[in-house]
Structure 1
């Protein structure tokens, strides 16, 4: 017969050490499993964040471009054309994802014009004049204006942004959108119909918080009462307004969802914020007015018309880690990127 005291001692030792052993093993397993799950979550999140839209590999098409400098229509490979557009429309030191977003928007603009035949240049989809279509500079013009160092250091980045989005355009209901864009918002973009009268379902007012870091986010114009009244009377012959006590004669009546002045009353006349922007050459139609005895201060936020993609907003999103397709999806609501070639 075994020693009962020895058996009892063994039971006691096991009852004390076994829970400790199981606890240590369980803790190691939990820590290992948790670490593995976190790594898997990071991998999953990372893989979900990147989307490859490159599904078609065809030669890029040629397009007709009206060169306003030579007064001639030229045929050019669309991707080559986009090198010149991106070089003119966005700073080359912007983040690559912002540059990609701009490249896709510029490519979409060409396709929209071609499909809708909206170009006013006979036989050409677009022109090279930024006041009418998109900014474009040839390689030779870029070399002359920006210098050899820029060609060596920056031009490859421009080409990369275009090449890595080859054939990608923004679509709504399967068709290319009108991809309006501008420099700097006032913190929100504008609904298209509140600026250009035409409503587009994808050009909706959205938050654009990163613009506040842009160099032209805020500006001020000081103008004397005399000059202000003179400019108004030169524009509106039937306006009834005098230099004295302007604060009692001017009233902002309404604002858009994005914050721009929609309607403003000046004496006996009601005009739009865009009218005032044009008359005074303000950076945007989002302004406040501060009155002094003999002058007015127009305190302005943003730069540009405010509809579509804010370029500085895109830059801010890119710096925060957003991909080009996430930037485009934010500024152009309910759109889908399509690979044409």
Structure 2
């Protein structure tokens, strides 16, 4: 049985100077990992696990078999990769601090705000302006709900929903992403002024999607969803069987990253999303969230979409989606602490405020040498 290796950051420090430089910067973010586990897995079993710091990584990789050592070295380099900004028209989205992506659903049945902005252009415009002015780096427009049990949407209807919203957002000067699985919708959205393709099926839904995304030159967000790439959104949540959810999602995203590269999508344009809430139980979601730093070893910018998710309700007496702000902010901070580059949220003002306070603390930690031995 073949073996696989994973480099999993375990602990972080406020800055490298606190540990005399024996820490590694995760994905060009403001987060520094101190201890990392070098894990070898054979099938579903972990056969070795060694905890090291930056100073001991080369020696730990040298102990692996040649093939694993090469993969480990590649992950070690990828984990430290500094990502260039995303270019969205005239807007430049820097990835050296967490950026907030605001959710704008123009659907009748999304789990949190379905119908609120689809049939009321004034409300949609006001919501877009509110998120943009609150500091959203990107506005993510979606015309199809992908919650479990959501109705299938014809692509013509999806286009009619999203194009007016995209035109409004683009006219404000906002960077815009289109949340869709269909290449016809992608094409209409980019023509209307969108800049980023956000596909919850990771470009699997339609065999034309990979080629279209590559030809468009637009950045793409590839999300993990275990289900087969078929028409019904319900399918995205099926077949979620894992031996170890974090490692299995890692392997899946690695395959989709490589498929995108093979199709001609440039590496700097690929963002990865572990897909919290898609085809995963509460326990699996919690395990995945506790392993968020692992995915830096894939060498791509990372997005966390956990805002108002069902798991928050499951941990708080099944409160309604609009009452999940506290849990959403907790998970957003978890993403920031893990070095994630993009946070996809409903509550932009509150998340931007939390990000700004978090950023202030990080800036202070990186410049505060008080108490260190001279």
Could you tell me the TM-score, scaled by structure 2's length? 0.22
Larger Rg: 1
